[in-house]
Amino acid sequence: MGLEDLYQQIILDHYRKPRHRGELAAPSVEVDHNNPVCGDQLHLEVRLEDGRIAEVGHTGDGCSISQASASMMSEAAVGLPVDDAMELIEHFRLMMHREAEPDEDRLGDAIALEGVAKYPVRVKCALLSWMALKDALQTHTATTER
């Protein structure tokens, strides 16, 4: 099993030059997630506008996989209606558990993370930002409906 599957160039590129890194001026919702196994930490901010994800910003500290995944997740999520984003998150989760054929159109660069599924301890790293986004969207829905 080659490590090249895990550390594809596109992943390393997102790791070195993370997209959407930083904080937002006016987030609608923010969440903090961490991976208790390895100590990776992620602060995620999302700005929603008319039921769509207008902006995403992430900060924190983590391994190449979790950092690259946060960058890829942000790229894939920006512009999506909340419902579509929730579906995409589920699709990504299933891909990580090898329960879905990856859909490149929706995943964008994040399809490169497919190889992580072969390394069970790293799956949590890849999922961290996606689960944070899910939490952020659910938190926002819960608070605005109230």
Partner 1 sequence: MAAELDPRALRADFPILEREVNGVPLVYLDSAATSQKPRAVLDAMERYYTETNANVHRGVYALAAEATDRYEAGRFSVARLVGADRRGTVFTKNASEAINLVAWAWGIRNLTAGDAIVVTEMEHHSNIVPWQLVAQITGARVLFTPVDGDGRLDLEWLEVTLRTEPVRMVGVVHVSNVLGTINPVAEIARMAHTYGAKVLVDASQSVPHMPVRFADTGADFMAFTGHKMLGPTGIGVLVADPATLDAMEPFLGGGEMISDVRVEGSTWADLPYKFEAGTPPIAEAVGLGAAADYLMDIGMDAVRAHERSLTAYALGVLSEIDGITIHGPKDPDVRGCPISFSLPDLHPHDIAQLVDRQGVCVRAGHHCAKPLMRTLGVGATARASTYLYNTEQDIDTLARALAEARAFMAA
C-beta atoms surrounding 130 within 10 Å: 26
Phi, psi of 73 (to 5 degrees): -60, -45
Residues near partner 1 (CB under 8 A), total: 18
Binding residue for partner 1, selected from 27, 40, 56, 114, defined by CB under 8 A: 40
Of positions 17, 32, 39, 90, contacts partner 1 by CB under 8 A: 39
Nearer residue to partner 1 within complex by CB, 12 or 94: 12
Q: Which residues contact 139 (CB under 8 A, 6 or more apart)?
A: 29, 31
Q: Which of 45, 53, 44, 56 is nearest to 20 (CA)?
A: 56
What is the residue whose two structure tokens read 């160039």? 9
* Residues in 110-139 that interact with partner 1 by CB under 8 A: 119, 122, 125
Note the residue count of the chain. Answer: 146
Q: Which one of 56, 65, 110, 132 is in contact with partner 1 (CB under 8 A)?
A: 65
Among 22, 25, 26, 37, binds partner 1 (CB under 8 A): 37
**Which residues are at the interface with partner 1 (CB under 8 A)?**
3, 6-7, 12, 37-41, 61-65, 67, 119, 122, 125
